[in-house]
Amino acid sequence: MVLLLGGCSFQSHTPAPVETLYTGKTFKDKPRGSVTQSRYRVQPGDTLYSIAWASGTDYRDLARINRLPSPYTIQVGQWLDLRSVKKSAATASPATKPAKTSTNTSRSTSAAVRSSKQKENTKPVDPKISQEYASTRSSQNINRPLKPALPRKVSKWRWPASGKVVARYSDSAQGQKGLDIVSREGTPVVASAEGRVVYAGSALRGYGKLIIIKHSDDYLSAYAHNRKILVKEKQVVKSGQQIAEMGSTDSDRVMLHFEIRYRGKSVDPERYLPKK
């Protein structure tokens, strides 16, 4: 596991799910869908997300079909069924009659974020995955193109919060995988770029109240330890729009842990953010 912040209590609750889902050395340079076989044997450096990317599937379907509970740990040499995942996705893809309301009756009650007037979701991750991330019919699919489509490139990034950077990105194996920004509790947390919220909740261990935004087919950003989440899944947000209030959930201090990921791999946010 990668420790996000050396020498701090953040080590005690390393956010394994995001690391498990969005990193992976084996496929980071391979085109999506390049793995076509019906079964795949896990190789060193693989993660659930990297395998999903290379096989052109959704990591949630991959976990559900192969009965992988959160945090989706896979072992070298383990065989994963890809054929059933693709078959499941194919049966879910035909269009269905539009619902009379915007509410999806099959939407997950574990990972979905209610409005600010409703109780914050804190249920643990369901081993069946569908309770955590829902099916392709009812939940935003992180691996598939967004409709309406978002830009292929992110032209401009902005700082997600004001405050002091107390920990910076490191590309070492056990280094920091993002930025830790310290400020006052309740400090506005804003979207670093335009995108769509693909996760908003508190079920992922080590991140507290977490928001993940998909900006394009390649880029994701993550915002952790919030006091209050102000957006919901599938919501499209503009660059600079407030999405949360800074807090200390799953942290020993008030701070925002911020990450940018390119094709599942952590990158240095300060390479993209404007100079301070």
Name the more confident of 184 and 265.
184
- Residue length of the chain: 276
Which of 30-44, 125-139, 148-162, 191-205 is the most confident on average? 191-205
Residue 55 near residue 35 (C-beta atoms within 8 A): yes
Collect contacts of 145-153 with beta carbons under 8 A, ≥24 apart.
145/217, 146/196, 146/214, 150/194, 150/195, 150/196, 150/214, 150/215, 150/216, 151/194, 151/215, 151/216, 152/216, 152/217, 152/218, 153/216
For the segment 52-94, what is each residue's pLDDT rounded down to a tens digit? 888 888 888 888 888 888 767 788 888 998 888 777 666 654 5
Between residues 34 and 105, the one the model is more confident about: 34
Residue 153 burial (CB count, 10 A): 10
Quick: pLDDT tens for 145-176.
445 455 556 779 999 999 999 999 988 777 78
Domains along the chain with CATH numbers:
24-86 (3.10.350.10), 164-271 (2.70.70.10)
DSSP state of 12: G
How far are the Cα atoms of 40, 163, 202, 204 from residue 228, in angstroms, in the given order? 40, 18, 10, 15
Model's pTM, two decimal places? 0.54
Q: Could you count the other beta carbons within 10 Å of the beta carbon of residue 197? A: 21
Over residues 88-137, the pLDDT tens digits come to 666 654 544 444 433 333 333 333 333 333 444 444 433 332 333 333 22
Report whether pLDDT(232) > 80: yes
Strands (E) in 14-159, as ranges, are: 39-41, 79-81
Percentage of the chain exceeding pLDDT 70: 63
